Structure 1
Amino acid sequence: MTTGTHDNSLVSLPDAKESKLALASKAVDQERQPLDARFWLVFLGIGIATMITALELSAVSVALPTITQDLHGSSFIWVGSAYTLAGTAFIPLSGGLSQIFGRRIVILSSLAIMALGSALCGSAKNMTHMIAGRTVQGLGGGGISATTAIIISDLVPLSERGIYNGLIGIAWAMASGIGPIVGGALAQKGQWRWLFYLNIPICGVAGAIMILFLRVRAPPGTLKEKVRRIDWLGTFLVIAATTACVIGLTWSGVQYSWSSAPVLAPLIIGLVGMVVFIMYECIFPEHPLVPSALLSTITGISGYMQTFLMPVVMIGVIYYIPVYLQACKGASAIGSGVDALSFSLVIAPIGLLGGAFVNRTGGYRVPLWTAWIILMVGTGLLITLDADTPLGHTIGFLVPCALGCGLLAFSTYFPVLAPLHVSQNGLAIAFFMFLRNFAMVWGVTIGGTVLQNELQRHLPPTFIAQFPEGTVVAYATIPAIASLPEPLRTEVREAFAASLKVVWEVLLAVGGLGFVSSLFMKAVPLHTAVDDQWGLQQQPESDNSISTTTTAV
């Protein structure tokens, strides 16, 4: 046991000592907290909160064409990008705040912000109002994603976490499976606003559970002292860099060409800003959002790279398979949700099985290597889709995509956390979630940009001429494709299929890069203990002092 301040020297070890640190953790004889009713109720609250973020990811993508049409807007990409941008920018700060103020206040605040954003989206009168609401939702969603993952790491050791993350994955998959159906049904009936209003009571239930049962120690110190510990400059740098990247990606190929200054300038500024942010975090702050220890091992770097690359592929499939089904196969909004259900139904069980395998064997490399190969096979099969491909083939091709994404979604944190001291769990997971959400921004915007650029090339000139504002408006015409006269209808269907083929090719290339990055990770033993300063309180709530003992792992 160590007392007082955490010994960060344990975390800043060179790569050659990864295994020694992890093996040392196995010698620790820690008194484990019982998995009592309170633990499972907190776990239930985490599952409910997770369902909210999954609903936002899956349901909105299906209803987006209808929302865009009803609000007479053209900036459909920003409806997705605003959510992921705000969530991504807030995640590092939410990790820091959870270290400074405690987990409880951050998760409750995040749920409240999500409810507020949902109310704003549900009452939207135009696309500007909708995008503003999605931004507020994103702030809440980012805080929920990061803080729930941190709470799980506080309560469950890494060697057992695969099963528990798999259980959370079932909640995520249930919401992801229900989301497209609910979103499609509400959109089809002109009631898409309830897609957002339904989040409000769900947030209330999750918040009530956290208030009643998530009784964890709050770090000591006055409000003034805690505010001083916030890394304000680092927060500003990551928000500015993230925003610049997303603006460049969103404008590229739509408002401006890739080679234009309005695209290149924010992209370059954003990418340079990310580098500056990481360098600053590793050197200057007393309480950094991203300590240098997180990037001190080749295994950790490999894990973070895989964490970034997987969501690019996953979000591309989730967002643009409904576009294919609606534009090329004539599916309704709800029909495309049902047709794509195989993707969501496979992810959770395979994630749970993958977690069980890691728990049983203690090894994570084989599942990750296998997952990347399967995902590449799935995206390769999507490339073969054309306008007349049988629907059964499309549904079947989604299965290997889901298998790969399921294994990766619940396993890439193993190489991230295994080389680190458990006292770094909170900040390591916050950076993990930051990269995952940032990747979703790239997945949505790159997929949308490729689609718009290719539509410009493939759509019939007579059809494009109807939209002087650009092919971005053509996205809103998807529900009306079935009513177009022949041969124009067939030409438009084929144009969408040919354009999406390039999207699938890009996703296959990203999957290949993910597989290559996975080859560099080492087999590091998994921790068998947790950081006991963040466990559920066993004493009365009035004692808010934080434990000064931490299990050395």
Structure 2
Amino acid sequence: MDHSIEQLPLGNESAQPLAPPSAPDAPKRRGASFWLIFLALCVSLFQVAFELVGVGIALPTIAQALHATDFVWVGSAYALAATCSLPIIGGFAQAFGRRPVMLASITIFAIGSAICGAAPNMQALIAGRVVQGFGGGGLQSVPTIILSDLVSLRERGTFNGFLVLTWSAALCIAPISVGTLAEHGQWRWFFYLNVPLSGLTFALVFAFLRLKAPSGSMREKLGRIDWIGNALLISSSTSVCIALTWAGIQFPWTSVKVLAPLILGLVGMFVFFLYDALIAESPVVPFSLLSDRTSASGYATNFVTAFLVLAIAYYFPAFLQACRGASPIRAGGVDWLGFSVVLGPTGIVAGVVVAKINRYRPVVWTGFVVMCTGIGCWALINENSGMGVIVPLEIVTAMGAGILYTTGYFPVLAPQPISHNAKALSLVAFVRSFAQIWGITIGGAILQNQLIQRLPEAFVSQFPGGVQLSFAAIPLINGLPPDVKDNVRKAFADSLRVVWYVLLGVSLVGAAISLLMREVPMHTYTDEDFGLKERDLAAQASEDIALKNVSSKV
């Protein structure tokens, strides 16, 4: 098979070579400054993961405390804001540099967290979640962009694995800590905890993230951003997300209030891609990102992976609470450790394997086989299944998720010039965030419709129209009479089985798409326009010399 890389013209930009002018250097020993920067990236990603995981655990308690019926927006408002902010974040990072965008994202995220913690009602909480989402979008994408500036693609597998380990740590810590807070009625501290975490992240980034930044005046930098393209993408994605949030819960899927924004949004996205491919001088999405078969299939598999993982993280703890009577702390903590503990280490192993064999396709395919196996077996469990059956299935599914999350960047970036790293990775973050909205809302719509058909009518009548039964009903189950309780538990198990079947179908589609990837050689160099400043490179060299001297004495 021919593994040569064909460079495609990028809209109105001239083609750039994919190879550096000289042979790549061998992997270097990295000094303390690099590791402190990497620590800052991990802490920022931990914040996003901690919030994303914890809100699902706290949601039943929050809804009950605020007497809410429209609390589907607690999850969707954050995802909507994060998704809409992601396209322009890549442009800002490319025009102004990584550091100022990172610091601004941390600040906005902290402000949104404070608003959520102090919210007197659901409307204020949702407003705070929107602010949080704008900051969280930056925290989700900029760390991966910075890592791409510091570590070549060929070496990045192990580092990607450690980033997945950060998410795994959040999966372990957030449910236990948030579950404890929820059980004691202190859910507000789930949001307040983000404030000191943001302070720590801000301090690390401010002190150690000293990277090169583009030159030019403010006017020149603003001129490098595709404002029309961003406006088209933000408005169209917002329209789609609003339609998905309403569909099947507040309005039927066939309602004009759902179909109109959905169709307008999808048409708007089509117009955006045409504009970026044919007209834009500095496109949000360079044409080669989607015209290359390998990159395009990489984006599609990233969509599938994010869809699956967030749907699993949202609805499997709901199964544990509704069907097994687990408390929030057990559902997201102890009973979920099979998934959360295994996810990160598996990601590291997958990254090391890619670095060793210098191939990503076999690892991606392995991830989909494992994921399909795990989700497929979920259809076998019911409301009476014990943890001896459930935990092994959690482990298998986590292995698939860890492999796919770590390896998702390789097929996207390998065919592209390194000058496209920021925009390519911002698009990965956008695709993943957009997929998470689909995962939450499609899963919620299926579960909602199934529960309405299966739950006892006397039980359903307690809830007003438009309420999301999957969360509103859970706190009431343990207090029901035994016969009604058994019927409700069975209704949840049978309804969630339909969700698992849908997730299995999505996983199989992702596996089929992954077969379209080519095995493109991975870059062995980085973009020096955004690397460490000279003084930090000199300091790192001094650290290397000191380490060698110590080693020679030993």
Moved more, 465-474 or 435-444: 465-474
Q: 1:85 to 1:395 in 2, by over 3 A?
A: same
Which residue, 209, 231, 236 being the options, matches 2:231? Answer: 236
Which residue, 267, 281, 287 being the options, matches 1:286? Answer: 281
Q: Deviations over 1:463-501 (max 9, x none)?
A: 112223245256223122011012111111111111111
Q: Distance in 1 between matches of 2:222 and 2:51?
A: 31
Aligned length: 528
Q: Distance in 1 between matches of 2:501 and 2:130?
A: 30
Q: Which runs of 5+ in 1 are unaligned?
A: 1-8, 14-19, 542-553
Which residue, 492, 507, 521 being the options, matches 2:503? Answer: 507
Q: Deviations over 1:286-331 (max 9, x none)?
A: 2211111211211111101001111111111100011101111000
Q: Distance in 2 between matches of 1:101 and 1:468?
A: 49
Q: Distance in 2 between matches of 1:477 and 1:326?
A: 10
Structure 1 residue runs of 4 or more that deviate by more than 3 Å after TM superposition: 9-13, 24-27, 29-34
Q: 1:483 to 1:294 in 2, by over 3 A?
A: same
CA contact (8 A) 2:370 2:397 kept: yes
Which residue, 364, 368, 371 being the options, matches 1:372? Answer: 368
Residue 421 of structure 1 corresponds to 417
Q: Distance in 2 between matches of 1:286 and 1:424?
A: 14
Q: 1:189 to 1:304 in 2, by over 3 A?
A: same
Which residue, 385, 398, 404 being the options, matches 1:389? Answer: 385
Q: Distance in 2 between matches of 1:32 and 1:376?
A: 36
Asked if 1:43 corresponds to 2:23, the answer is: no
CA contact (8 A) 2:210 2:536 kept: no
Q: Specify the SS of the correspondent of 1:525.
A: coil
Residue 162 of structure 1 corresponds to 157
Residue 127 of structure 1 corresponds to 122
Q: Specify the SS of the correspondent of 2:154.
A: helix
Q: Distance in 1 between matches of 2:114 and 2:163?
A: 26
CA contact (8 A) 1:86 1:136 kept: yes
Q: Distance in 2 between matches of 1:530 and 1:248?
A: 40
Residue 346 of structure 1 corresponds to 342
Length-normalised TM-score, structure 1? 0.92
Which residues of 2 match residues 134-153 of structure 1 at below 5 A? 134-153=129-148
CA contact (8 A) 1:25 1:527 kept: no
Residue 96 of structure 2 corresponds to 101
Which residue, 328, 333, 340 being the options, matches 2:328? Answer: 333
Q: Distance in 1 between matches of 2:74 and 2:263?
A: 23
Q: Distance in 1 between matches of 2:123 and 2:61?
A: 16
Asked if 1:301 corresponds to 2:280, the answer is: no
Aligned amino acid, residue 422 of structure 1: I
Q: Distance in 1 between matches of 2:22 and 2:223?
A: 37
Residue 220 of structure 2 corresponds to 225
Which residue, 459, 463, 477 being the options, matches 2:459? Answer: 463
Which residue, 306, 314, 322 being the options, matches 1:319? Answer: 314
Asked if 1:494 corresponds to 2:490, the answer is: yes
| 1:229 shift after superposition | 2.4
Q: 1:25 to 1:364 in 2, by over 3 A?
A: farther
Q: 1:494 to 1:31 in 2, by over 3 A?
A: closer
Residue 479 of structure 2 corresponds to 483
| 1:25 shift after superposition | 5.6
Q: Distance in 1 between matches of 2:268 and 2:352?
A: 39
Residue 60 of structure 1 corresponds to 55
Residue 16 of structure 1 corresponds to none
CA contact (8 A) 1:66 1:476 kept: no
Q: Distance in 2 between matches of 1:75 and 1:107?
A: 32
Which residue, 182, 196, 204 being the options, matches 1:201? Answer: 196
Q: Deviations over 1:33-58 (max 9, x none)?
A: 76211111111100100100110121
Q: Specify the SS of the correspondent of 2:416.
A: coil
Q: Deviations over 1:104-157 (max 9, x none)?
A: 000000000110010011111111111111111111111111110100000000
CA contact (8 A) 1:57 1:176 kept: no
Q: Which runs of 5+ in 2 are unaligned?
A: 1-5, 11-15, 538-554
Residue 258 of structure 2 corresponds to 263
Aligned amino acid, residue 300 of structure 1: S
| 1:278 shift after superposition | 1.7
Which residue, 434, 440, 448 being the options, matches 2:430? Answer: 434
Q: Distance in 2 between matches of 1:21 and 1:300?
A: 17
Q: Distance in 2 between matches of 1:354 and 1:272?
A: 38
Length-normalised TM-score, structure 2? 0.92
CA contact (8 A) 1:455 1:471 kept: no
CA contact (8 A) 1:25 1:528 kept: no
Which residue, 201, 205, 208 being the options, matches 1:210? Answer: 205
Moved more, 222-231 or 305-314: 222-231
Q: Deviations over 1:325-361 (max 9, x none)?
A: 1111000010112201211111111110000000001
| 1:26 shift after superposition | 10
Residue 536 of structure 1 corresponds to 532
CA contact (8 A) 1:329 1:391 kept: no
Aligned amino acid, residue 526 of structure 2: V
Aligned-pair Cα RMSD in Å: 2.0
